[in-house]
Amino acid sequence: MTATLIDTHCHIDAYNDPVSVLDQAAARGVQIVAVTEGPGAYRRLRTRLGRREGVHVALGFHPLRVGNVAPYDLARFFRLLPQTSWIGEIGLDFSRSGVATKKQQLKVFEAILSDPQVRTRPLTVHSRGAERETVARLAQAQVNAILHWYTGPLSVVDDALAAGLWFSVNPAMTRSAKIAAVLQRIPAERVLLETDGPYSRCNNRPTVPVDIKTTVRHLAQLWGISSEDAEATISRNQQGLLGRDTTVRSVEPGLGQSD
Ligand SMILES: [Zn+2]
């Protein structure tokens, strides 16, 4: 029996043909967390895909979008929060692309983390160039968060593990020599899967959710176990992530609600 695997971070609205990507995932038993970059994108995607089985539309506020949003967007985020079962993509980006909006990003990130509803839903979090700051804030907020496509220092990996955070691994990460040490540092029981598709690449094309199966094979090799055992480990981790608070799955009826 194969376990249901979840691509915990996929930009489904950025593919040319999202429906065929979703059909392919459904045929292979892969579930998708469809992250969004802002409340407007969340509403559109929720209307389009909200009732589709195996797809969880996540309410996001991307750090690189924070610079050009109106103040009412944050209010809109909080109005939509009760109807979502996943939060993402949120986070901090102090790389060259994000450093100019550092202050606004911190304001938005801290506002989101201070809402108690955020503690009852899994979060998928961006941390490029701001790993230490991101992990410190997640630890303080005591949230159930996944560090997505982590590329930061090893010392921060230890802080993240101590804070009970998860790491989601995509196919591009398994090919990176720089990230090999990070992957070695993370215990198998804290690993989840993602693609960040279509923004990461696999076999010279944009990654699709079913590519998480390739990542499982890489992880199995790294862990020195069979692919079946690696799949079982990740499936257990997914249950651990979702089981921390039962309200995670009971908020679905908010579907289609307007803001
Ligand atoms: Zn992303």
For tokens 């989101």, the residue is: 112
* Residue 57 and residue 47 in contact, taking contact as beta carbons nearer than 8 Å: no
Helices (H) and strands (E) in the chain, counts: 11, 10
List residues forming the annotated binding site for a divalent metal cation. Answer: 9, 11, 89, 126, 148, 196
Q: What is the pLDDT of residue 246?
A: 37
Give 257's contacts (C-beta < 8 A, 6+ positions apart): 83
| Cα–Cα nearest to 87, from 38, 50, 31 | 38
Specify the pLDDT at position 50.
Answer: 73
Question: In 102-211, which ranges are continuous DSSP H helix?
Answer: 102-113, 131-141, 154-162, 171-175, 177-185
Q: What is the pLDDT of residue 32?
A: 97
Tell me the CA–centroid distance for residue 75 and ligand 1, in Å.
22
89 CA to centre of ligand 1 in angstroms:
6
pLDDT at 1: 52
Closest C-alpha among 149, 154, 165 to residue 215: 149
pLDDT number for residue 125: 98
**Residue 65 C-beta-side C-alpha neighbours within 13 Å:** 19
- Looking at residue 249, its pLDDT comes to 43
Position 71 scores a pLDDT of 74
Centre of ligand 1 from the C-alpha of residue 1, in Å = 30
Q: What is the pLDDT of residue 251?
A: 41
What letter does residue 68 receive in the DSSP assignment? G
- Provide Rg for the chain, Cα atoms: 17
Beta strands in the chain (DSSP E): 5-10, 30-34, 55-57, 87-91, 123-126, 145-148, 166-169, 191-193, 201-202, 205-206
Q: Which domains does the chain have, with CATH numbers?
A: 5-253 (3.20.20.140)
Positions of the chain with pLDDT under 50: 245-259
Question: Residue 215: which H helix or E strand, with range?
Answer: helix 212-223
Distance, CA of 173 to CA of 195 (rounded, Å): 10
Distance CA 138, CA 114 (A): 10
pLDDT (0 to 100) of residue 70:
74
| Ligand 1 mean position, distance from CA 93 (Å) | 12
The rounded Å distance from CA 240 to ligand 1 centre is: 22
Residue 222 Cα, ligand 1 centroid: separation in angstroms?
25
